[in-house]
Amino acid sequence: MTTLLDARPAGGPRDTLSASPVADGARVDALMAEFGLTGEFLGLGGNPQDHRVVAAMSGGVDSSVVGAILHRAGYQVVGMTLQLYDHGAAIHRKGACCAGQDIHDARRVAEAMGFAHYVLDYESRFKQAVMEDFADTYLAGSTPIPCVRCNQSVKFADLLATAQQLGAAALVTGHYIRREEGAGGPVLLRAEDHGKDQSYFLFATTREQLDYLRFPLGHLTKDQTRELALALGLIVAAKPDSQDICFVPDGDYASVVKRLRPDAARPGEIVHTDGRVLGRHDGVIHYTVGQRRGLGVATGEPLYVIRLDAASAQVIVGPREALAVRTIQLADVNWIGDGALADADGMEIAVKVRSTRPPSPATLHVSADGAVSVTLAAGEEGVAPGQACVFYSVDEDSRVLGGGWIRATRSEVQAA
């Protein structure tokens, strides 16, 4: 059940907004026209004022701009910010989303623009669905992506349901991804700005969710978004982007796992791919696939973490060539391409196995029993179980076809 922590409709105290840039209404209108953000640009039909919409506001510049332009266009905007964890210790941590300062910033933006803003308590749900999954995935020897889990289980599930309960016509977010109407319904496309594209983190979006979601920044660059923020006079116009996982602002994943699962990590052996035992370790949670530094062994040759065997508490290391993966086995596949997933067997696609890498050519395989795997045209390094393999069409628009969680991999060395 969602708990309402704070509701601040328009007209609250604004004495804290004195440091805001100066708003320029004429400039805002000109930019919105230039960027195609005029009229009923969400594609809901009728006029903007006919529609109540929920703007998911994290306190960053992107979601703040979304709330502001929706309000400027005439939509009935309800801003919502999620309290996802105890932010008391994180108020002064820069670069971590959804912390106390970010909630404060989202509230101030809504107050300055004049639309309602609510803070919702999702702490227990977030801890169960995201943080505990994060810890368990690491303990299993895999590498989690909590941002995808958060979108999948909190933002596009719980928050979406709350927006629907409020009678909103759409849930609107600041993600850099495009949603367009296709012949068979809405489709997802990579953002125009490939450097900011967030499709890797949204592969689990279902067809039903896509009907309700809107992403008005998908065709903009980050510079254009900041230009809008400055013209709107938003206090967050120059705020830096979040770089870390929100509940791991210092990047120390192992300490978070230890706090959530005390005494769960167990020591074990560091083993070479040729079978030699090279040393000992304090727990697989301290290692990730592809890691080179900090292995704690010296052999005179560069060594990398090839895989983690949590069952036997082994860290397997080897030469760089052993990192190249050609075959990926997937679990919990989400398909939003045309037709049924079973009909896509043998399809030539492009895939991303890391959020920062461009899509690479691959072939999709769907067996008679429903098992899904991908064969890469060329070997990819650092492909780790627990992460995502996202599917794209091979045309120039790079349509998002879905994806799945990496369950296991097979290297070029093994294939040989």
| Annotated binding-site residue? 60 | yes
Query: Residues with Cβ < 8 Å from 89, sequence gap 6 or more?
Result: none
Q: Tell whether 63 is in a known binding site.
A: yes
Sequence-ordered list of residues with C-beta below 8 angstroms from that of 291, at least 6 positions apart, any chain:
304, 305
State both tokens at 190.
């990579």
Active site residue 97: no
Q: Check if the beta carbon of residue 205 is closer than 8 Å to that of residue 156.
A: yes
- Residue 56 marked in a binding site: yes
Residue type, 392: Y
**Which among 97, 98, 147, 150 is annotated as catalytic?**
150
Those residues with Cβ within 8 angstroms of residue 251's Cβ, 6 or more apart along the chain or in another chain: 244
25 is in an annotated binding site: no
Residue 242 assigned to a binding site: no
- Helix segments in 154-221, DSSP class H: 160-165, 207-212
In this structure, are residues 74 and 119 in contact, taking their beta carbons and an 8 Å threshold? no
Q: Pick the catalytic residue from 97, 98, 147, 246.
A: 246
Q: Mind giving me the DSSP string for 256-299?
A: HHHHHSTT----EEEEETTS-EEEEES-GGG--TT--TT-S---
Known active-site residue 150: yes
Q: Identify the DSSP state of 206.
A: -
To the question of whether residue 218 is assigned a binding role by annotation, the answer is: no
- Ligand-binding site membership of 230 (annotated): no
Q: Is 195 known as a binding-site position? A: no
Q: Which residues are annotated as a binding site for ATP?
A: 56-63, 82, 174
Which residues have a catalytic role annotated? 150, 246
Q: Which residues are annotated as a binding site?
A: 56-63, 82, 174
